[in-house]
Homo-oligomer: A and B are copies of this chain.
């Protein structure tokens, strides 16, 4: 029987590694991205390129309008993206983001008749986002099986988080083994239209350190340095 899965595809390093891994495990993949009022389109353009490269069955980009509720430096132009790691939960935290992303994935999964959802969350290089922790994922999986017609009828949703306990360096090594071209990905919170990275935001720092620790040349196109 064909194995099919939905992959949450942000266009960043983690999500493309997750997609490559799901394909290697034999899943035919559907990719799901969100236009949630990010400040730039570079991420979504990267997601579209990656979806094409990996020949996913379908790639949907859902417009969410999170900007209308505000509350994050990533969706609200009045909050500055910081250029250094902050203590605690950062201002780049988007309220309920992964809850929303997984909820859409769940709805689409039901429509497609599949029960496997992959998300590239990571709790090691986790910079303080509560919705990247294993206990959050477990709670969502419980919810998914109560929330849905499929769950009530006895199917079991599984939220796969293959990267959750890996360091950024380990993710990069895994991706390189899987043949991922990381030049296609955008991690930066302040990337320009061409997808060039700022080199100084949290996401850039984690990515740089990951390549450094993995002993792999960083293919990222930086605006500075």
* Residues in A lying within 8 Å of B, measured CB to CB: 60, 62-66, 68-71, 89, 93-100, 103-104, 106-108, 110-111, 130-131, 133, 135-136, 139-140, 142-144, 146-149, 151-153
Contact = CB atoms under 8 A, between A and B. Distances in A.
B130 A136 contact: no
Contact of A96 (B69, B93, B94, B110): B110
Contacts of A111: 69-71, 95
Given A63-B63, A100-B100, A152-B130, A107 B147 contact: no
Given A69-B107, A69-B111, A96-B104, 18 more contacts: A63-B65, A69-B108, A70-B111, A71-B111, A89-B152, A94-B107, A95-B106, A95-B107, A96-B103, A96-B106, A96-B148, A98-B147, A100-B107, A130-B147, A130-B152, A131-B146, A135-B146, A136-B147
A149 B99 contact: no
A97 B103 CA distance: 8
Contacts of A143: 99, 136, 139-140, 142-143
Given A62-B68, A131-B147, A135-B146, A103 B107 contact: no
Contacts of A146: 130-131, 133, 135-136, 139
Contacts of A66: 107
B106 A99 contact: yes
Count of this chain's copies in the oligomeric assembly: 2
Contacts of A108: 69, 95
Given A100-B100, A136-B143, A143-B136, A149 B107 contact: no
Nearest to A96: B107
Contact of A68 (B60, B89, B149): B60
A185 to B, nearest CB: 25
Contacts of A140: 143, 147
Contacts of A94: 107
B148 A95 contact: yes
Residue among A63, A93, A104, A153 facing the most chain B CB atoms (10 A cut-off): A104
A46 to B, nearest CB: 21
A103 B110 CA distance: 18
